[in-house]
Structure 1
Amino acid sequence: MHSDEIRTIVDRLAALVSEHYVFPDVGREIADRLTKAAAEGRYDVLTDPEQLSVQVTTDLQIGNQDKHLRLKFHHGEVPDETDPVEEENYWATRAHLDAGGMARVERLPGNIGLLEIKPLLYDPSHAGAALIAAMSLLSATDALILDLRGCLGGSPDQVALVCSHLFDGEPVHLNDLVTPATGTVRQFWTSHVPGPRFGGTKPIWVLTSGSTFSGGEELTYDLQQLGRAKVVGERTGGGAHPRQGFKLHSHLEATVPLHRALNPVSGTNWEGTGITPDLEVPATDAYDIAYREAVDHVLALPATPERLPLLDEARASLVG
């Protein structure tokens, strides 16, 4: 990369932030700072795209610490958001190779369900079928461990689809996305799902780490605020401003937050603070603790003839 190309990238990034950033006044301040730095030649020596991404991201986040606001380096080719076919193919391929984000689906001893979602909550158009299949398999379990320790973000529509399997009855209001520049609000609610649901009464444990971020945090926060799950693990990363990607170079993507999450229960979100678990423990210990609590729940269920083998499974798992 040469200096003219670098300045073109930074100027384009500044224009995008000024136009789209979730807080318009802050966006204009950031844009002015970047434009001035580029004009002064601050970035001219950073001819490696990855080095440029690190320095510019640091400058973008001065004073706001918005982890969604980045100049992101990709080892592979960045999809072009202005080419719907290319972008669709990119995300469809990623979701396919990641099994729709359903990293682990298992019935644990004692009839306890485990669903691990990583690296992303892919959009339902690419991963809805995988999620519905996973939740259908786990619908008859007596407790659920939802492992989001490696979930780095994703689609709020997929968050709503997950939650739709975890409640009963009337639609439940989960979250709003507010666009301050226009005052528009998009609401997210639970909805009807095909096949059986896990339902709204059996216990859920959500596992988190410091890497749980964005869409993974929204799923955690929605369930926690509604009193539907117990969160076990580490405080999460603290990113509540959904972003849009813009291709600036074959390996550089501008990620600019456009919206602000607004939870209908708390009236706020987790931006900058992360989500505090109900039981704060190292992420490496979260699974064992949650599973033990889930086993205790199963052992307290009525010992019907049909359940006796499951109770024996649960007891044996603790001995092992």
Structure 2
Amino acid sequence: MTSTTSTTSATSTALDSGAVVESIADLVRENYVFPDIARDLADLLRRRAAEGAYRAETAEELAEAVTADLRSVNGDQHLAVHHHEEPVPAERGAAVLAAMRRDFDSTLGGVPRVELLEGGVAVLEIGPKMFPLDWAAQPLTAALSLVAPASALILDLRRNTGGDPDTVAFVCGYLLERRTHLITMLSKQGTVAEQSWSAAHVPGARFGGSKPLYVLTSAATFSAGEELAYDLQQLGRAAVVGEATRGGAHPRNGWTVHPHLELSVPVARGVSPVSGTNWEGTGVLPDVPCEAGVALERALALALQK
């Protein structure tokens, strides 16, 4: 899924909007998971460029204008051009990883809160991302092992805005009794690209698959954060408490198209073995709807009733 056009406009900080948009159109047509929509989007970008819609003065303005058009056909929230203040590497996906690393280092490895509440109920927050597993395995193992003896667990994903599906599967390994099929990724050709399963064995202690489990969500919960909530809900393992999530189910890759611009393109789509679909566009719908700000209190009350 590489492209010779992905870095041609990234050789200079000068903004050649025509060249950048042409590069974006090529990458979307080549890589977007829905081929028919990919062609429509590429045509739309070229038509809009010919109309003069992208005569932006700054890279940030260009990112906003192109993102609006990319999302105008089917509302895919993973389709975007992201602006970065600092120059980003040309390697595919490097811009997101660099930003994620800064968040990882400032949030105790993605587990900013582990606390024992009344009645032996534990709360564990994972965020702001599902960080790559080679970074996050150690802090997640420590946190999940620490809450393993709790009588009930509240998993707080209200500020989780995405990340690595492998980390989702790793966390699920602590919350299920056995290796379980979580989701299947389909390619743009409709073939199986990958299957995600929870881990059969995990380091540390396992919370297990029988004690009460609640997942907190908000309207900001997105992507891999949504997948964790959705997988556990579909399997009947957890009750989701809070708000409907943002609704982004398509895994993406990133390409640098200018030293300050990264294109995000979904390259697959996830399908649950339980529902036969996913949460794209609809979000994960809570079992116990409430405002995100009171979701912890609602989940704690439910846990104490158990």
The answer to whether the superposition gives a TM-score over 0.5 is yes
Q: Which residue of 2 aligns with 1:316?
A: none
Query: What amino acid is the match of 1:275?
Result: V
Q: Structure 1 residue 3: deviation in Å? A: 9.1
- Does residue 34 of structure 1 match 2:45? yes
Counterpart residue number, 2:137: 128
Contact 1:2 1:47 in 2 (8 A): no
Name the structure 2 match of 1:8.
Answer: 19
Partner of 1:309: none
Amino acid at match of 2:189: A
Deviations along 1:185-231, one digit per CA (max 9) or x if unpaired, are 31111111011100010011101111011001100000000000000
Q: Which one-letter code corresponds to 1:167 in the other structure?
A: L
d(CA) in 2 for partners of 1:182, 1:281: 37
**Residue pair 1:148, 1:216 contacting (<8 A) in 2 also:** yes
Q: 1:284 to 1:88 in 2, by over 3 A?
A: closer
Structure 1 unaligned residues grouped into runs of 5+: 298-320
Secondary structure at 1:163's aligned position in 2?
helix
* CA distance in 2: counterparts of 1:138 and 1:29, whole angstroms: 49
Instruction: Tell me what 1:305 maps to.
Output: none
User: Could you tell which deviates more after superposition, 182-191 or 26-35?
Assistant: 182-191
2:173 pairs with 1:156: no
What is the DSSP-based 3-state SS (H/G/I as helix, E as strand, rest coil) of the residue aligned with 2:45?
helix
CA drift at 1:98: 2.8
Pick aligned residue for 1:183 from 181, 191, 205: 191
Shift of residue 38 of structure 1?
1.5
Displacement after TM superposition at 1:294 (Å): 1.4
**Relative to 1, partners in 2 of residues 1:291 and 1:87: Cα closer, same or farther, differing over 3 Å?**
closer
Deviation at 1:99, TM superposition (A): 2.1
Q: Return closer, same or farther for 1:174/1:51 CA change in 2, 3 Å cut-off.
A: same
- % identical aligned pairs: 46
Q: C-alpha deviations, 1:130-154, integer Å up to 9, x for none?
A: 1111001111111000011111011
Question: Within the alignment, does 1:193 sit opposite 2:194 as a pair?
Answer: no
2-structure distance, mates of 1:259, 1:223? 21
Q: 1:81 aligns with which of 87, 91, 105?
A: 91
1:173 corresponds to which residue?
A: 181
* Residues 81, 235 of structure 1: alpha-carbon distance in 2 compared, 3 angstrom cutoff: same
Classify 1:2/1:173 alpha carbon distance in 2 versus 1 (closer, same or farther; 3 Å). Answer: closer
Which of 250, 261, 264 is equivalent to 1:252? 261
Matched residue count? 294
Is structure 2 residue 64 aligned with structure 1 residue 54?
yes
2:28 aligned to which of 13, 17, 28:
17
Counterpart among 256, 272, 278 of residue 281 in structure 2? 272
**Residues 38, 253 of structure 1: alpha-carbon distance in 2 compared, 3 angstrom cutoff:** same
Farther-moved stretch of structure 1 (17-26 vs 181-190): 181-190
> Equivalents in 1 of 2:237, 2:63: separation in Å?
39
Residues 165-314 of structure 1: pairs in structure 2 closer than 5 A: 165-169=174-178, 171-181=179-189, 183-191=191-199, 192-297=201-306
Please identify the structure whose Cα radius of gyration is greater: 1
1:63-104, CA deviations, whole angstroms, 9 ceiling, x for partnerless residues?
2000000011223333433497x8866654542333221121
| Cα distance in 2 for residues equivalent to 1:123 and 1:105 | 20
Unaligned runs of 5+ in 2: 1-11
CA positional deviation for 1:4: 6.5
CA positional deviation for 1:182: 6.4
The TM-score normalised by the length of structure 1 is 0.87
